[in-house]
Amino acid sequence: MSLDRIAVDGRLIGMPASPGIVIGPVRILLWEVPDVPMVEIERDEVPAEIERLHDAVEKAKQRLNQVKARAEKHAGPEEAAIFDVQISILSDADLLQRVENLIHQEISAAKAFDLVMIEWRQHFARHTQPMIRERVSDLTDVQIRVLTILLGLPDHDPVDVPKGSNAILVTHDLTPSLTVQLDREAISGIATDAGTRTSHVAILARSLGLPAVVGLRDATYKIHAGDQVILDGSSGVLIPNPSQAQIEAYSDRAAREAADEAELQSLIGAEPVTLDGVRIVLRANVDLPEDAEFAAHSGAEGVGLMRTEFLVVGRASMPDEEEQYRAYTKVVSAFDNHPVVIRTFDMGGDKLPVGGYPTEPNPFLGWRAIRMCLDEPELFKVQLRALLRAAMHGDVRIMLPLVVTVDEVRQARRLLEEAASELDARGVEYRHDLPLGVMVETPAAALAADTLAHDVAFFSIGTNDLVQYTLAVDRGNANLASRFTPLHPAVLRLIRRIVEVGAHHNLEVSVCGEMASQPLMAFALIGLGVRQLSVAGRSVPLVKRIVRGVSARVATDAADAALHTQTAREAEGVLRVKLMSAFGNAPFLRDGLPDYVDGNTFEGSSGP
């Protein structure tokens, strides 16, 4: 497949992000600041233009009140509070005065409003107080709303889709905060121009069980609102205005996938053990507390990664200790006494915290994850206290993201002790002996894993970030998707190194990145000596099928050979030959494999 994902027979080819085939009408979502042309007005038009401004602001406020009422109903008062902030921005006398001043200089209301908002956003983004910086995204939302009205553009309210629409949302990009607000009874699939399999929109779509295709590049231009489309989230294809024959072919394929899914369900109670008797521990990744129940019924033996930042994204305020305690307890209770590994806030990168943070020049190399938590100890300790308390209900283990030095672990441990003393002072019950582990997701942590080993209880390899940082390939950049190759020898060698250090220090090593859920790569990981995998609840039976169908000895031989190849593609070839000897050319073996720049090695991966 060439780098250009051009339409073939009218099909748009993107990347498979969340499996499933759906057919439905398109809903285009354009939530971007529109381009505003510079329009000069005549002096005698000034009063009417000022009136237009005030009308538009009033209409925007009315709309915000409606949206707020809906958010209150669906998501609760905390989520809805964000709209109060936006309404108060629109009531700011200074803001409106500045816009009026520009209109008096004979600039159109739209351009005047646009210029003042750009100025305010820059001013807020540079502010020393985080609380003010957090308001930048509210300003952007307000800017979009008012300009949409002034320019007479269609209202693309992100979450305003009626229930039962069965709509397929087509958008340039979807932030996690928008994704968590989507009404699953209204939306049946997601297609985005941007993104890759490991961007967080894809991860969330899989958690929500919403079929998704990402990285389509220009679908928002090629597809029109109301068009009928087929979305095939398993092979990453979108077909606008399909023929009857295409609808029939894809419906057949959907039926075959459903039958395969039903067969997989029979594995839920089976033990994940290889043909030669090696026991693999299979746990679930839980992104939202509501997923826990489903994950617990997938056959997972606990949670290998709970991504807590999804409790925070898109919110008007941080969840307090009680709310977090309830969320963690919900997950812990769903899993009886199985281990539940809860990761402390991994905000930043493409997961923006409350209100969103101002854009950093390099967000993935920026103030994120453990760095942010250590710099905001009061915020961090709220989470640590909630975790210590939730541990009263089960086997909670704490995991720190993006660690690069042992100092971070030690500092976090000190804060954990402070959090415990604070609970002592309040006389609240908690458990103190929680294991503290780290994610190994940077080349620094992998190469120097031995420097961390004495201070941690376990390693969990975050391959999504490890691949991104090792290969210097942005995990969310659709233009680089073919270069995001987890089977690159550098990545395989780092994983092998982490496994060796873990074995030497008697530490558990698991993999919780997306690599673990892709059949060929799960096979490689077993071969590299990984004995614990954590995958989306929906993927647990699929990975179990791989585990039960291979022998660890064969996997080890295949991984050894892959380690000695020169390229990811060669490594894939070596692994595939071995895996095919167990499964033939079963279609599910293609799941999640990258399309290499010069051609995908599997035939026919984009048709029914």
Contacts 24+ apart (CB under 8 A), 105-109: 106/40, 106/41, 106/42, 106/43, 106/46, 107/38, 107/39, 107/40, 107/41, 108/39, 108/40, 108/41, 108/49, 109/49, 109/50, 109/52, 109/53, 109/56, 109/150
Q: Which range, of 77-85, 328-336, 457-465, 538-546, touches ligand PEP by CB under 6 A?
A: 457-465
List the catalytic residue out of 172, 373, 393, 512. Answer: 512
16 binds, among ligand PEP, Mg ion, none (CB under 5 to 8 A by kind): none
Q: Which range, of 67-75, 166-174, 463-471, 520-528, touches ligand PEP by CB under 6 A?
A: 463-471
Answer for the pair 108, 114: CB distance below 8 angstroms, yes or no: no
Shortest Cβ distance from residue 369 to ligand PEP (Å)? 8
Tell whether residue 463 is a contact of ligand PEP (CB under 6 A).
yes
Q: Which range, of 59-67, 118-126, 211-219, 462-470, touches Mg ion by CB under 5 A?
A: 462-470
How would DSSP label each residue in 315-345? -SS---HHHHHHHHHHHHHHTTTSEEEEEPP
Q: Which range, of 313-321, 376-384, 389-397, 462-470, touches ligand PEP by CB under 6 A?
A: 462-470
List the catalytic residue out of 172, 200, 393, 488. Answer: 200
Instruction: Considering the complex, state which of residue 275 and residue 444 has its C-beta at the smaller distance from ligand PEP.
Output: 444
- Beta strand segments in 7-121, E: 12-13, 15-18, 21-29
Tell whether residue 197 is a contact of ligand PEP (CB under 6 A).
no
List the interface residues with Mg ion, window 402-461 (CB under 5 A). 441
Instruction: Considering the complex, state which of residue 274 and residue 460 has its C-beta at the smaller distance from Mg ion.
Output: 460
Distance, CA of 172 to CA of 217 (rounded, Å): 8
Tell whether residue 531 is a contact of ligand PEP (CB under 6 A).
no
List the interface residues with ligand PEP, window 330-359 (CB under 6 A). 346
Distance, CA of 291 to CA of 324 (rounded, Å): 15
Distance, CA of 320 to CA of 312 (rounded, Å): 10
Distance, CA of 21 to CA of 452 (rounded, Å): 44
571, with CB counted inside 10 A (0-12, 13-18, 19+), is buried
How many residues line the site for Mg ion (CB under 5 A)? Answer: 3
How many residues line the site for ligand PEP (CB under 6 A)? Answer: 10
Tell whether residue 462 is a contact of Mg ion (CB under 5 A).
yes
513 binds, among Mg ion, ligand PEP, none (CB under 5 to 8 A by kind): ligand PEP
Query: Which of 321, 408, 465, 572 touches ligand PEP by CB under 6 A?
Result: 465
Instruction: Considering the complex, state which of residue 344 and residue 605 has its C-beta at the smaller distance from ligand PEP.
Output: 344
- Mark 295-334 with x for binding to ligand PEP (rule: CB under 6 A) and - for no binding: ----------x-x---------------------------
Distance, CA of 191 to CA of 121 (rounded, Å): 29
- Mark 501-530 with x for binding to ligand PEP (rule: CB under 6 A) and - for no binding: -----------xx-----------------
Shortest Cβ distance from residue 551 to Mg ion (Å)? 31
Answer for the pair 211, 231: CB distance below 8 angstroms, yes or no: yes
307 binds, among Mg ion, ligand PEP, none (CB under 5 to 8 A by kind): ligand PEP
Answer for the pair 384, 419: CB distance below 8 angstroms, yes or no: yes
Query: Which of 49, 79, 173, 441 touches ligand PEP by CB under 6 A?
Result: 441
Characterize the bridge pairing of strands 212-214 and 15-18.
antiparallel
Phi, psi of 485 (to 5 degrees): -120, 95
- Largest CA-CA distance found in the chain, in angstroms, rounded: 87
- Beta strand segments in 80-160, E: none
Cβ atoms within 10 Å, residue 190: 29
Tell whether residue 86 is a contact of ligand PEP (CB under 6 A).
no
Query: Which of 193, 465, 514, 591 touches Mg ion by CB under 5 A?
Result: 465
Instruction: Considering the complex, state which of residue 57 and residue 347 has its C-beta at the smaller distance from Mg ion.
Output: 347
Phi, psi of 538 (to 5 degrees): -65, -20
Tell whether residue 464 is a contact of ligand PEP (CB under 6 A).
yes
Active site residue 505: no
Q: Which residues pair with 237 in a beta bridge?
A: 13, 232
Show which residues are catalytic.
200, 512
Contact positions vs ligand PEP (CB under 6 A)? 305, 307, 346, 441, 462-465, 512-513
